[in-house]
Amino acid sequence: MKDSPNLDLLRAIAVLLVVADHIGIVADPSRMLLWTTLGTAGVSIFFVHTCLVLMMSMERNRAPVLSFYVRRVFRIYPLAVAMVLLTAVMVVVSGKSMDAGIFWSNVFLVQNLTGHPSAVGQMWSLPYEVQMYLVLPLLFVLVKWRGVRSVAALMAASVALILALALSGRGYSLLEFLPSFLAGVLAFALGKRARHSPVLLFTVAAGVIAAAYLGVAASRSALVGTVLFWILCLAIGVTIPYCREFTYPPLARAAALVAKYSYSIYLTHFLAMDAGFKLAADLPPLLQWTICFALMAAWARVGYRWIEEPGIAWGKRVSDRFQVQTNTCGRAVAAPPGPATPSASSEIGDGAVKSW
């Protein structure tokens, strides 16, 4: 059973785009639009990738729905909560205090519902991902029952609803990323067809990201930007199933490594940036950059080895115990029957993914 280099590389690109966004703003704030476009594109790719690999995982595991939720909670929350606690400590050390509403909203990852800011800037995306988990098992059933057309219809309906809300002056923030997530579901529904070179996938992604930047720069409209990133997600979601896996071992190994640590990189890289560009501000630029990237790798490893990996292991144990108990009692509700499809090796969650 081989890994999926394409999906590993896609996830690695996503996290590197987010890092490039934040470092780019520090290094050259005059190009903030370019950097934020890259960062938003990275998060959009994350959404597509996450939905796809979780759908694959549900098909492979055929576990009770509660087991799915247990694994996701242990996958996402430990490192996120650790970052909130670390941020709160840093605030206290600076002589201030973190508002209780901000603290608890971030601990439970509901800040988009409560209206509080994220304790760590990039944590803004996590509530949307957690809320997506609530409906993903239903989408899995929908795909098995009605196929590709049902997902396409749902995507079209969600886009129409969001545009109607936006044009009528009503808020649509809670639904804004639904089409992006559905693009990953669509990729799963299409199934692996593997007819074209993998170059196509990454060419399409690069082309649409460039078009999104130009479109946002020309329009200066948040709604136009949102639509362009939906198009990016749709293009990636439709292209993934039709591309063969690339076979260049050095790149595959590098992509798998970055994908493995991607969640930890995503949440901890600001610590390395603060050390390199603020604490070491008086040092020569080359040394600042060296400190930044060295600490970025170190923090990612610490976050994964000490928090993320143990959380994944605990989630698997709890989930397996629950599954054995419910099977024994005859109450387990398995996923709908279908051919077993290998999925994310991940409980790393959205990292390395088995062949599809």
Q: Per-residue pLDDT tens for 195-213? A: 899 999 999 999 999 999 9
Domain-wise residue ranges, the chain? 5-327
Confidence category of residue 356, pLDDT binned at 50, 70, 90: low
SS3 content of the chain, % helix, strand, coil (to 5): 80, 0, 20
209 in Cβ contact with 37 (< 8 Å): yes
Selection from 55, 44, 348, 11 nearest residue 191 by Cα? 55
pLDDT for res 346: 41
How does pLDDT run across 221-244, given as a tens digit for each residue? 889 999 999 999 999 999 999 999
Q: Please, which residues have CB within 8 angstroms of residue 3's CB and are 6 or more apart in sequence?
A: 252, 256, 345, 352, 353, 354, 355
How does pLDDT run across 29-87, given as a tens digit for each residue? 999 999 999 999 999 999 999 999 999 999 988 878 888 999 999 999 999 999 999 99
pLDDT for res 319: 86
Task: Check pLDDT > 60 for residue 327.
Answer: no
Average pLDDT of span 309-336: 72
Q: Full-prediction pTM beyond 0.85?
A: yes
pLDDT for res 341: 37
- Radius of gyration, CA atoms only, the chain: 20
How does pLDDT run across 139-183, given as a tens digit for each residue? 999 999 999 999 999 999 999 999 999 999 888 999 999 999 999
Confidence category of residue 325, pLDDT binned at 50, 70, 90: low
DSSP string for 275-337: IIIIITTTS-HHHHHHHHHHHHHHHHHHIIIIIIHHHHHHHHHHHHHHHHHHHHHT---PPPP
Confidence category of residue 344, pLDDT binned at 50, 70, 90: very low
Q: Please, which residues have CB within 8 angstroms of residue 94's CB and are 6 or more apart in sequence?
A: none
288 in Cβ contact with 144 (< 8 Å): no
Task: Check pLDDT > 60 for residue 214.
Answer: yes
pLDDT for res 330: 52
DSSP string for 224-261: HHHHHHHHHHHHHHHHGGGBPPP--HHHHHHHHHHHHT
196 in Cβ contact with 244 (< 8 Å): yes
Q: CA–CA separation, 171 vs 175, rounded Å?
A: 9
